[in-house]
Amino acid sequence: MKNFELARLFDLMADILEIKEENPFRIRAYRRAAQNLESLTEDVEALAREERLEEIPGVGKDLAGKIVEYLRTGRIKDVEAAKRGIPGGVVDLMNVPGIGPKTAKLLYEKEGITTLDRLEKLARAGKLRGLHGIQAKTEANILKGIALVRGGQARMPLGRALPLGQELVRALGDVPGVKAIELAGSLRRMKETVGDIDVLATSTSPAKVMHAFTTLPQVAEVLERGETKAAIRHREGIQVDLRVLEPECFGAALAYFTGSKQHNIRIREMAVKKGLKISEYGVFRASTGRRVAGATEEEVYAAVGLPWIPPELREDLGEVEAAAKGRLPDLVALGDIRGDLHCHTKATDGSHTIDELVAAAETRGYEYVVVTDHSLSARVAGGLSADELAAHVGKIRAVQPKHPRIAVLAGSECDILADGAMDYSDDVLARLDLVIGGVHSRFKQPRREMTKRICRALANPYVSVLAHPTGRLIGEREPYDVDLEEVFRTAKQHGKAVEINAYPSRLDLNDVHARRARDLGVLIAVNTDAHVLDHLSTIELGVATARRAWVEKSGVVNTWPAKKLLAWARSSRPEAGRRPLAARGGGSKR
């Protein structure tokens, strides 16, 4: 329903008219229409189709026409014209709770304040009070309001933004005339949160792309619309920037708008030293202005004497030096993953059966999947007692014959208790193919206790992988206080793996910590922690995080063949070497 979007636009129009001191009746008409649109229970689009818009109280012929215009084109010309009459920042000022058009007008006209930053600075310095009747209390409220507005523009987690970006790329890729289309910016670099979604395209008819983009059903508001550049606010709240380019510039623009800014600065410096000028339009000889590269990124990097650098590395964290020396890491890729070591089922808090999970893993082309339901202490998750686990393992083994192409492995996500003991005794753990240890309680333990607790678990011969090593939930829960250096050293000492948990709100380890683990030579497992089958595909986020951490294929245990993986899991166990490998299905498909 576009009711709210229209209401917001009409309200904005009223605000602008108020700043401009236009006819109060017109202002009131827009406000009234906005209010009624907001409380309307019917879909405004349905009313438009049935030509019943004028039944909305406050909506006459004129406003009905504007509603139709918006539904058809995604914008209202009059509103855009009115917006042009005032600095853009003034609209932002009015978004701050407590600042109406009157105050915004005073701040802008008498004090020259046209940005939130400037307003915040003055408020913090106590310089707003006294101006035009603003009291100290109002000043404090304005600061709170600014924080609220800023909070609303919080960065979006990669796991939410990536599907939105991919959906936009698909939709615009279908527009006639579009040749190439790619995500850029932090989303292409797969940063764990993104400020906005950047999209680049080449097309023979940019106008068609602009029109298609600004009228997509995902668009809540058109923020900017030029001939080759547009910005919208997505229904999900995030801003999307689109640029349409000439094919000969595409590589240069992709490199430029992928960033990061720091990476670009380094590349530009290298270009200058070679007598080149680099911009979003191409690479040019500084002396003659002749174009030397621009159509592809490979060409742009080659012009400055470098191999192409994967986007996930472009943070100026050593990748430029490594590229120059020909020592870029051979990053792990999605296709290298042979199985998921961390998956739940209905036996605890998952929503599918063992059979469904195995079938889904098989469809993904995996060679193995480890079923790892919770242990007893994880009450909220319906953790299994030792007896229940034994029965569960029986069921896991029983589905194997039905799925000859994939090895069905029995595991556990076993709780690491407060003192570092495992939630199952060693003889119970010994019956499992692979054990993941995880902290699910007592998150507030002091750093030393938490570190000892986790290190003790890593020293347990039956524990192979440390699940979500910091416990953080993006935007929800801070990581627990733990000395990761110590944890990594312990993992390395015992040959254990630490997890990059790909669950969208976890991404734990994050890129920075995973890079440290990798630098110390600690093994990594990239797992989804799937609770619903759809989650198996979020492995993409985990692999991206591993790539941002410079992790190579050889360091990721679940890129190994089943045989090597199982041998590794057994290698720390006391019975290692004594028990022959159980015969299993699971050929090597890859």
Residue 489, Cα to own-chain centre: how many angstroms?
29
Burial of 19 (0-12, 13-18, 19+ CB in 10 A): buried
* d(C-alpha 14, C-alpha 20), whole Å: 10
Name the minimum Å distance from CB 119 to Ca ion: 23
Q: Is 260 in the site for ligand DGT (CB under 6 A)?
A: yes
Of the candidate residues 3, 202, 264, 558, the single one contacting ligand DGT (CB under 6 A): 264
3-state helix, strand, coil in the chain (%, to 5): 50, 15, 35
Q: Is 311 in the site for ligand DGT (CB under 6 A)?
A: no
Total residues interacting with ligand DGT, rule: CB under 6 A: 14
260 binds, among ligand DGT, Ca ion, none (CB under 5 to 8 A by kind): ligand DGT
Which lies closer to Ca ion via its Cβ, residue 101 or residue 185? 185
192 binds, among ligand DGT, Ca ion, none (CB under 5 to 8 A by kind): none
Residues that bind Ca ion (CB under 5 A): 185-186, 196, 198, 241
Helix axes 158-173, 206-214, angle to 10 degrees: 130
Q: Which stretch binds ligand DGT (CB under 6 A): 192-200, 299-307, 318-326, 391-399?
A: 192-200
Closest by alpha carbon to 345, among 562, 535, 540?
A: 535
Tokens of 302: 């080659």
Q: Is 100 in the site for ligand DGT (CB under 6 A)?
A: no
The HSE-up count of residue 444 (CA atoms within 13 Å, CB side) is: 0
Which lies closer to Ca ion via its Cβ, residue 241 or residue 433? 241
Which lies closer to ligand DGT via its Cβ, residue 264 or residue 538? 264
Tokens of 235: 């229904």
259 binds, among Ca ion, ligand DGT, none (CB under 5 to 8 A by kind): ligand DGT
Q: Which stretch binds ligand DGT (CB under 6 A): 258-266, 282-290, 350-358, 557-565?
A: 258-266
Q: Is 198 in the site for ligand DGT (CB under 6 A)?
A: yes
Backbone angles phi, psi at 77, to 5 degrees: -55, -45
Of the candidate residues 74, 101, 157, 185, the single one contacting ligand DGT (CB under 6 A): 185
Residue 505 in contact with residue 469, Cβ under 8 Å? Answer: no
Which lies closer to ligand DGT via its Cβ, residue 179 or residue 261? 261
Residue 547 in contact with residue 312, Cβ under 8 Å? Answer: yes
* DSSP character at residue 411: E
264 binds, among Ca ion, ligand DGT, none (CB under 5 to 8 A by kind): ligand DGT
* d(C-alpha 295, C-alpha 524), whole Å: 37
- Please identify the residue of the shown chain whose CB is closest to the bound ligand DGT: 259
Backbone angles phi, psi at 503, to 5 degrees: -55, 125
- Please identify the residue of the shown chain whose CB is closest to the bound Ca ion: 185
Q: Which stretch binds ligand DGT (CB under 6 A): 193-201, 247-255, 401-409, 557-565?
A: 193-201
Residue 206 in contact with residue 227, Cβ under 8 Å? Answer: yes
Which lies closer to Ca ion via its Cβ, residue 348 or residue 545? 545
Q: Is 282 in the site for ligand DGT (CB under 6 A)?
A: no
* d(C-alpha 89, C-alpha 299), whole Å: 39
Residue 192 in contact with residue 203, Cβ under 8 Å? Answer: no
Which lies closer to Ca ion via its Cβ, residue 139 or residue 196? 196
* DSSP character at residue 353: -
Chain contacts with ligand DGT (rule: CB under 6 A): 185-186, 191, 194-196, 198, 256-257, 259-261, 264-265
